[in-house]
Structure 1
Amino acid sequence: MTTKHNQSELTLGFMMGTTYRKLSALFQNGLKEYDITPEQWSVLFQVDSTEGLIQKDIAKRSGKDKPTTTRILDHLEGKGLVYKRTGENDRRSFKVYITEKGRALIKETFPIEDQVTDEIKNCISSDEYELLMGLLLRINNHIDQINDGE
């Protein structure tokens, strides 16, 4: 027996997942000609924002696990967008830096990220946007607290 669900019965996880995939596809479409995925872009953006981060911090800031971050950093390094330097105090860790090519790519593609945000702002008011961002941040922080407590 199949049950039909209306929008009010959709789960939060389902709606957030669906919305994320649609936003990501919109961003990916804009990035297509630059040979970089939204996931790679977000990691590169974090490296550009604060150079010399270790992989663990990049993973946390970009919302990715460590194995995924390692894979993405390897791709970015292969494309000549970042480089790694062994940590001075800990030989097992390394710091990540952006190259001029990587910095130019972020500068050229950041307007695409802005366009995606502008599209969202076209369908909700400024107050709704601020409320949405505040709620998402609160949910994010709450989930971090739950996960850190495990």
Structure 2
Amino acid sequence: MPTAAKLVAALCLAALGFGVSELIKTLMPASTAFGSFSFINAGLGLVVGWIVVGNRAGRGQAAAVGNGITGVVSLVFWGLFIQAVNEMVKKAMQHHYDGPVEAFVAVFQIMVDFGAMLLDPKVLLALLCGALVTGYFSEVAAGRWR
């Protein structure tokens, strides 16, 4: 059932997904072609915010911090997974892998490589602040609009 908390959480995580994606673009070489990288992560933020954070809102301010962190961790995991699968498919189309098992294992190796970029202090700070803001605002929305 749609609630204000789900909508607020979805919008917050979509904005965070887009913003962090734009921040990551500045860390990559200028020749990197990103395509719809930011928009995919924003859409993923909408889904994760609605399902993960929005469903857990309304349990108090202490739980709001945990909800926000859980939402951001979920967003990062699924974002890394989707982007890694996309990269694996690109490489598979260029016959980079010998078989499907090697391609499957490569997804997790690519996730680790992409995840290393998230260890930049600016990215970590943005994710932490986004988690707190998302948890707080979804909690406020759950309390205000029941």
Place the TM-score, normalised by the shorter chain, in its bin. Answer: 0.3 to 0.5
Q: Which of the two has higher C-alpha Rg?
A: 1
Q: Which has the higher helix share?
A: 2
Structure scoring higher RCO (CA < 8 A, sep ≥ 6) equals 2
State the TM-score, normalized to the length of structure 2.
0.37
State the TM-score, normalized to the length of structure 1.
0.36
